[in-house]
Amino acid sequence: MRSHMDTHTANILDGKALSDRLRGEIGKEAAELTQKHGRAPGLAVIIVGNDPASHVYVKNKKLGCEKAGIHSFSHELPADTSQQHLLGLISELNQNPKVDGILVQLPAPKHIDPETIIEAIDPGKDVDGFHPYNVGRLAARQPSLRSCTPYGCMKLLAETGLDLHGMECVIVGASNIVGRPMALELLLAGATVTICHRFTENLQSHIERAEIVIAAAGKRGLIKGEWIKQGAIVIDVGIHRLEDGSLTGDVEFDEASKKAGWITPVPGGVGPMTITMLLANTVQAFKIHVGDE
């Protein structure tokens, strides 16, 4: 019973449970499409170098594919792979009719320019939704392949059952892969959107008036629990691995839980949803390629 303010704790937005549910549906659709078209949806994952954290994400992506009946093609390249070689591989995968989605794990080593790589991917196979074509589609209110992390955050927000029209949203972080496409998603959903970044003055004052907080600065504990407006929805995108191996986010979870109406945990919040939306995008890309939509 939540009869007293002091004992208030937020509802958990469970990204693991929602992922399990959605991956069941994605797997069902992948099986139907495989039956109908005689081949499974295919995802090519390219990783350059041996950053251990990146390898964990890539392993999770492959496992997610397997369980959903999506064929995964893995390309593990050494850290000294030239940009030209990588562009050659992308060009082959762009042509390969068995490959519906192409993902190049970021960050890549320093001698590789991420913008050049992203632009080389066929926009119809850009299951990360990072290509300027796909970002532009979202900006122009005609979304095609949508960036996985913001798309996953929108699915989590839908779980609250709340109408987002006119909601005061504050996004912390303005990166190309999270903050910016997140703002476009929320704008498309009819919310009022503020984007905070490195040059924002008085972050606290912005958070204090937010009905929805999206924390994606990549700074552990940046968002203080006591800043959260009573009843607000808090989506924590940040991921930080602590010395003991555990994970935590950009939000002070325990403190924020006392104020928020809804909150995502780390782990088990946004992370699993990012991979789920990657699987959903791969099925969508398959449908684009076979002309099923």
Ligand X SMILES: NC(=O)C1=CN([C@@H]2O[C@H](COP(=O)(O)OP(=O)(O)OC[C@H]3O[C@@H](n4cnc5c(N)ncnc54)[C@H](OP(=O)(O)O)[C@@H]3O)[C@@H](O)[C@H]2O)C=CC1
Residues designated catalytic: 61, 105, 128
Contact call for residue 56 and ligand GUE (CB under 6 A): yes
Tokens of residue 250, six digits: 């950009």
Q: Is 228 helix (H, G, I), strand (E, B) or coil?
A: coil
Say how far apart CA 157 and CA 171 lie, in whole Å: 14
Any binding-site annotation on 174? yes
Within 145-174, the residues that bind ligand GUE by CB under 6 A are 148
Chosen from ligand GUE, ligand X, Mg ion, none, partner binding at 197 (C-beta under 5 to 8 Å by type) = ligand X
Gap between the Cα atoms of 177 and 152, Å rounded: 13
State the nearest-atom distance from the C-beta of 265 to ligand GUE, in Å.
8
Q: Is 173 part of any known ligand binding site?
A: yes
**According to the binding rule CB under 6 A, does residue 128 interact with ligand GUE?**
yes
The 3-state DSSP class for residue 102 equals strand
Shortest Å, Cβ 173 to ligand X: 3
Is 22 one of the binding residues for ligand X (CB under 6 A)? Answer: no
- Specify the DSSP class assigned to residue 98: T
The structure tokens listed for 168 are 């005061």
Give me the least distance between CB of 106 and ligand X, in Å please. 8
Shortest Å distance, C-beta 79 to ligand X: 20
Q: Are 269 and 157 in contact (CB under 8 A)?
A: no
* 64 counts as binding ligand X under rule CB under 6 A: no
C-alpha 154/C-alpha 244 separation (Å) is 31
Closer to ligand GUE by CB, 145 or 266: give it: 266
Q: In angstroms, rounded to a whole number, what is the distance separating the alpha carbons of residues 29 and 43?
A: 15
Q: Which residues contact 6 (CB under 8 A, 6 or more apart)?
A: none
Is 218 a binder of ligand X (CB under 6 A)? yes
C-alpha atoms less than 13 angstroms from C-alpha of 251 in its C-beta half-sphere: 33
Among 270, 278, 279, 285, binds ligand X (CB under 6 A): 270
Q: Which one among 19, 72, 81, 149 touches ligand X, defined by CB under 6 A?
A: 149
- Tell me, by CB under 6 A, how many residues bind ligand X: 24
Q: Write out the two tokens for 213.
A: 């907080």
Which residues contribute to the site for ligand GUE (CB under 6 A)?
56-57, 60, 103-106, 128, 148, 239, 266-268, 271-272, 274-275
